[in-house]
Amino acid sequence: MIAKTYVNSMHVEAMEKLLKRIPQEHRQYLKVLNEIGATKGGNFGEEVVYKDLEKMQLPFKYYVFHKLLLHAENTFELDFLLITPFGAVILEVKNIIGELEFQENPSQLIQRKETGEIKKYPCPALQLNEYKYQLSQFFMDHNILVPIYGAVVFASRNSFVKASTDKAIILNRNDVRPYLRQFQKHKPTLTIEEIEKRKDILLMKNTPFAKFPLTKHYSIQPEELKKGAECSKCGFIGMHKRKRTWHCPACKTNDPHAFKNALTTYFLLYKDSITNKECREFLLLNNRHEANKILSKSNLIKQGNNKSTIYKMKKPFIN
């Protein structure tokens, strides 16, 4: 059963918005570009595995959690965690294609693509074992006695593990169900009631980390970004406010709702609050009454009065 469902992260959308507003020569441009590719690939792999887990039926009671962020000695995030009568099972998902080779001294994963390109990654077996340790500390902190197991799962059918490792169990996606079924050979350590209690504790202690606003996350100065509403048709940034609409000088499109997407962009990239002055500066407005009208009809939380008034999102963004 699914205890914490798969949810599409807003992080990729936010990074793409950021990339449009910083110059290509900016010191963080390539970093953001590379993180977009890596995050998309990781999200796709997790979604594929999640769909398999969602359809899965096991001969025992269990709960599946996607993206739990917990605190022990350090903060750690688990791709997937299963709570079963036989213990906790961590699935660390990787969506890396090509020929893969685990190496030691130093521990790393080598990827060789068909094009001949070679890339190095941190060793997922070490990552898994670190998560197992952190989870054990989390359980100790909450007086929970549960055996912890785990496996690294390669989600793509185009992954070929040429050289494996004895540091962790390595699985292809199709191996996940047989791997989980084999736990029924073990002696149960948790009752149904105890499984329910562990589920409730994990959900209660999950604290998603907010990466927003991204200018702070990437140490980018807000003034380095392009300002203005973005045209939904051609992508031009800096639409002109006209009576009852916004006009794109590039493709001549008129959009009366362009400010809505612009304000979402502001909260993702700049700050978790906005003032009338900040609204004018970001949307390139000259009239404080126009900015006040926009903020008032944008379904935001108003705090304070007069010049000290700020507006916030009703639901803060989390990753």
Strands 63-71 and 108-112, bridge-based pairing: unpaired
SS3 198: helix
Within 10 angstroms of residue 221's Cβ, the number of other Cβ atoms is 7
State the Cα–Cα distance between residues 10 and 248, nearest whole angstrom.
26
Give residue 87's region: left, alpha or beta (phi > 0; psi -120 to 50): left
Tell me the two tokens of residue 160: 């070929």
pLDDT at 317: 63
pLDDT at 316: 66
Cβ atoms of residues 266 and 222 within 8 Å: no
Strands 245-247 and 240-242, bridge-based pairing: antiparallel
pLDDT at 208: 73
State the Cα–Cα distance between residues 291 and 256, nearest whole angstrom.
14
Tell me the two tokens of residue 34: 């590379």
pLDDT at 266: 96
Within 10 angstroms of residue 177's Cβ, the number of other Cβ atoms is 16
Cβ atoms of residues 245 and 256 within 8 Å: yes
State the Cα–Cα distance between residues 2 and 266, nearest whole angstrom.
34
Residues 6+ apart with CB under 8 A from 105: none
State the Cα–Cα distance between residues 142 and 127, nearest whole angstrom.
23
CA atoms within 13 A on the CB side of 108: 8
Q: Please give the average pLDDT of every successive group of 10 residues along the chain, which has 319 residues.
A: 88 94 96 93 94 94 96 94 98 96 95 92 96 98 95 95 95 96 94 96 87 90 96 97 96 96 95 95 95 93 90 75
Cβ atoms of residues 280 and 295 within 8 Å: no
- Which of these, 133, 139, 102, 135, lies nearest to 120 by C-alpha position? 102
pLDDT at 210: 67
pLDDT at 209: 65
State the Cα–Cα distance between residues 94 and 44, nearest whole angstrom.
10
Cβ atoms of residues 68 and 4 within 8 Å: yes
Q: What are phi and psi of 70, to 5 degrees?
A: -125, 170
Cβ atoms of residues 313 and 300 within 8 Å: yes
